[in-house]
């Protein structure tokens, strides 16, 4: 599988595999799993056509694709994801809430994102950025959502649910470490990971 980049000391390319997973929150088990090379962008897993009105998606920031996010919004599917640092947007409204001591609790920004499409039209996507303080990690976390109405604490809680996927992978890696592969073909590696 094609890896990403080169080893910093030797300069050799290294192979890599990614496991992309969709987990339904009410089931707690993977419903869609795909194997790709490490060089594959994650956004191919985001398929708005399989989502229904009222669905809520909590996803990793690698899935940010304005065109797909706008399609989700038009289908009335709510998404919550972590912000990438380099996103460019226009602020429409900015409001900060503080606690009794004067420290920020949450900041809410209504924003628009613009993207030039292949046909020359400009796509404008309306979203909300909710920034909160992660007390455990002592840092600010910014979430992106198309839900313009819900309480910010609900949005934050939805994003925390996404960590169930990370915990599943951590558990798999700890209990079933892949120290070596029995075969070198792509199919042999996929079979071993499945097993």
Inter-helix orientation angle 163-175/152-161, to 10°: 20
Task: Kindly give the confidence (pLDDT) of every residue in the chain, 195 residues in length, as a single tens digit, with 9 standing for 90 and above.
Answer: 766 667 667 777 777 777 777 777 777 677 777 888 877 777 766 776 777 888 888 887 777 788 888 988 999 999 999 988 888 899 999 999 988 888 888 999 999 999 888 888 999 999 999 999 988 888 899 999 999 999 999 999 998 888 777 777 788 778 877 777 888 888 888 888 888
**What b/e sequence results for 156-170 when a residue is b if at least 16 CB atoms lie within 10 Å of its CB, and e otherwise?**
bebbeebeebeeeee
Residue-wise pLDDT tens digits, 18-61: 777 777 777 767 777 788 887 777 776 677 677 788 888 888 77
Beta bridge partners of 1: none
pTM: 0.77
Query: What does residue 181 show for φ and ψ, rounded to 5 degrees?
Result: -105, 145
DSSP string for residues in the chain: ---SSB-TTT--B---EEEEEEE-TTT-SEEEEEEEETTS-GGGG--GGG--TT-EEEE-GGG--HHHHHHHHHTT-EEEEEPPTT---EEEEEEEEE-TTS-EEEEEEEEEEEEE-TTS-EEEEEEEEEEEEETTTTEEEEEEES-SSS-HHHHHHHHHHTHHHHHHHHHHHHHS-----S--SHHHHHHHHH-
CB count, 10 Å around CB of 67? Answer: 14
Query: What does residue 92 show for φ and ψ, rounded to 5 degrees?
Result: -95, -40
Query: Look-up: residue for tokens 């924003």?
Result: 111
Q: How far apart are the C-alpha atoms of 155 and 158, rounded to whole Å?
A: 5
Classify strands 78-82 and 56-59 as parallel, antiparallel or unpaired.
parallel
Domain ranges for the chain: 1-40+162-195, 61-150
């Amino acid at each position: 599988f094609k890896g990403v980049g080169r080893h910093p000391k030797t300069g050799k390319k290294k192979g890599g595999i990614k496991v992309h997973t969709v987990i339904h929150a009410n089931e707690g088990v993977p419903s869609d799993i795909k194997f790709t090379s490490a060089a594959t962008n994650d956004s191919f897993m985001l398929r708005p056509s399989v989502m229904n009105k009222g669905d809520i998606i909590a996803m990793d920031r690698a899935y940010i694709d304005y065109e797909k996010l706008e399609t989700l919004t038009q289908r009335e599917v709510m998404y919550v994801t972590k912000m990438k640092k380099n996103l460019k947007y226009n602020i429409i409204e900015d409001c900060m809430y503080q606690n009794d001591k004067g420290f920020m609790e949450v900041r809410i920004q209504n924003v628009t994102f613009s993207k030039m499409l292949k046909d020359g039209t400009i796509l404008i996507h309306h979203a909300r950025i909710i920034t909160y303080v992660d007390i455990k990690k002592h840092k600010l976390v910014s979430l992106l959502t198309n839900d313009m109405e819900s309480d910010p604490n609900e949005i934050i809680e939805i994003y925390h649910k996404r960590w169930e996927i990370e915990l599943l992978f951590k558990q798999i890696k700890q209990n079933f470490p892949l120290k070596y592969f029995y075969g070198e073909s792509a199919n042999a590696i996929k079979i071993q990971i499945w097993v």
